[in-house]
Amino acid sequence: MAEMYYDNGPGRRNEKRRRGWTMRLADGAATLSSIAVAVALVVTYFVPHTDPSRVWFFPVLGLVAPAIYVAAVMLALYWVIRWRPVRAVAMSLVVCAGLPYVSLFWRPELRRDYGEAVRERGTIRVLTYNVRCFYGEDQENSADTIARFIAAQEPDIVCLQEFNARLADLSGEFGELRQRYENARFDPVPSGDTLAEAPMLVLSKYRILRSGSVVGPGTSVWADLRVGEDTVRVFCNHLHSTSINSEDNDYITNRRFLSDTAREVKFRSMADRLRENSVLRAAQADSIVQAIAASPRRRIVCGDFNDTPMSYVYRTMARGLNDAFSECGSGYSHTFRGFFDVLRIDYVLSSDDFETRSYEVPKIDCSDHYPVVVLLKKSTSNN
């Protein structure tokens, strides 16, 4: 019978010892990471409930909320695999506390996509788009391209932010498009902010009964539309910019900060601008939401909020309304072209008298934003 040998010599014992030390070091690093991530995630849960003027770093924390949450999930899985029950349960509890926020960023695709949703009778197709003054890639005039895109989408209601009336007037295709809709254009009083000087435009296949401004014609405007036997009030919004420009975006996304000795000054400048402009948007949202809540009509609230779903501004604007993405979106949605394509800052919200039937973000490269196209239907339970 052959003899069996078991290698329990010094080499085998040294290898086990090295592996043991490696896992101890890995567990130590994961423990420190878990504490830091858990604290950051718990603090992040308070961001939407806190005015940004009270805590200076909350606006920055809200931007990176999805990344913090994913890190927490990965660490929870690590402790499960390592079979460390106490740490696994602790991280899992922190992760589960954030589940109500997950649908604001990501919704699982539970069914196969068979193409564009079939448009039902009685539905309202809403399109909102920040067109960046019709300056496309390389600053060329994109008015014709955007006009063709809108015509192909066949929306019933169009809300455009940063609308450039001069370039629109030079576009024959945009002129033809406007002839098929009723128009409500809102020209703000000129100011030092070039974006604030950009008008907003509401196009409607329904009769426009009246219109007005909530917070300046370049910030939040409304139009009452006659839809069948009902009046629907549409709010078109363009809240204050983050002031994070294309140079800042290039600095971060192309990792230029890795070789920049002045990166601390650059990051501090960006953080200061984020905080200051978050405070301005919060004040705008506080005023706008009063007008939205005071409207007795069916409400559709859309536009460029310049803030993520994990923000005080979004929570304020969405109060009492339904987010089209959370109702009918799928996967991870982003509407801003830049910053690693992770930011959803353009929205379509609606009151409970509407049901959301579809949500789309068509990929058209004519602006630094993508349009949002939503199909709504009057809720039968509220008729």
Task: Report whether pLDDT(68) > 60.
Answer: yes
- Is the pLDDT at 343 greater than 50? The verdict is yes
Are both 56 and 128 inside the same structural domain? Answer: no
- Separation between Cα atoms, residue 292 and residue 49, nearest integer Å: 19
pLDDT number for residue 381: 60
**Taking residues 37-62, what's their average pLDDT?**
93
Residues 206-216, mean pLDDT to the nearest whole number:
93
Residue 157 maps to a domain: yes
Task: Tell whether 93 and 159 lie within a shared domain.
Answer: no
Confidence of residue 93 (pLDDT cuts 50, 70, 90): very high
* Strand locations in the chain (E): 106-107, 123-130, 157-161, 182-186, 200-204, 207-215, 220-227, 230-238, 298-304, 322-323, 331-332, 346-350, 354-360, 372-378
User: 194 and 135, same structural domain?
Assistant: yes
Residue of higher predicted confidence among 271 and 14? 271
* Residues 6 or more apart in contact with residue 83 via CB below 8 angstroms: none
Predicted confidence at residue 1, as pLDDT, reads 47
Q: Are strands 200-204 and 182-186 parallel, antiparallel or unpaired?
A: antiparallel
- The answer as to whether 44 is a domain residue is yes
What's residue 297's pLDDT?
87
161-192 per-position pLDDT tens digit: 999 989 999 999 999 999 999 999 898 655 54
* Domain-ending residue, one of 73, 102, 131: 102
Residue 5 resides in a domain? no
Is residue 65 over pLDDT 60? yes
What per-residue confidence (pLDDT) applies to 7?
54
How much is the average pLDDT of 330-336? Answer: 93
For the domain that residue 230 is a member of, what is the CATH number?
A: 3.60.10.10
Q: Which residue has the higher pLDDT, 174 or 271?
A: 174
Please state the rounded mean pLDDT for residues 101-122.
73
Report DSSP letters for 187-217, one per residue: -PPP-S-TTTTS-EEEEESSEEEEEEEEETT
Q: Which pLDDT band, with edges at 50, 70 and 90, does 219 fall under? A: very high
273: containing domain: 123-382
Q: Mean pLDDT over residues 209-238, rounded?
A: 93
Of 102, 137, 154, which closes a domain? 102
Q: Among residues 71, 102, 133, which one ends one of the domains?
A: 102
Contact status, residue 220 vs residue 288, Cβ threshold 8 Å: yes
Same domain? For 134 and 48 the reply is: no
Both 97 and 178 in a single domain? Answer: no
Residue 273 lies in a domain: yes
Inside any domain, residue 109: no
Span 351-376, pLDDT tens digits: 999 999 999 999 999 999 999 999 99
Q: Which residue has the higher pLDDT, 202 or 56?
A: 202
The pLDDT tens digits of the residues spanning 79-88 come to 999 999 999 9
**Domains identified in the chain, total number:** 2
pLDDT of residue 263: 76
Same domain (yes/no): 244, 363? yes
Q: Note whether 82 and 227 are same-domain residues.
A: no
* pLDDT of 50: 95
pLDDT at 5 over 80: no
Position 316 in a domain: yes
On the question of pLDDT at 110 being above 60, the answer is: yes
* Co-location of 140 and 224 in the same domain: yes
Around Cβ 128, how many Cβ atoms within 10 Å?
Answer: 27
- Flag whether 1 is in a domain: no
pLDDT at position 114 is 46
Same domain, 284 and 204: yes
pTM of the predicted protein model: 0.89
Please state, in angstroms and rounded to a whole number, the distance separating the CA atoms of residues 80 and 299.
46
Q: Give the DSSP H or E segment for 177.
A: helix 172-179
Is the confidence at residue 101, as pLDDT, over 80?
yes
Tell me, yes or no, whether 116 lies in a domain.
no
Q: What is the mean pLDDT of the chain?
A: 88
Do 89 and 132 belong to one domain? Answer: no
pLDDT digits (tens, 9 = 90+) for 10-28: 666 666 666 667 888 988 9
- Based on the domain organization, do 133 and 199 belong to the same domain? yes
Over its C-alpha atoms, the chain yields an Rg (Å, rounded) of 25
CA dist 316 and 141 (Å) reads 35
Residues 64 and 142 grouped into a single domain: no
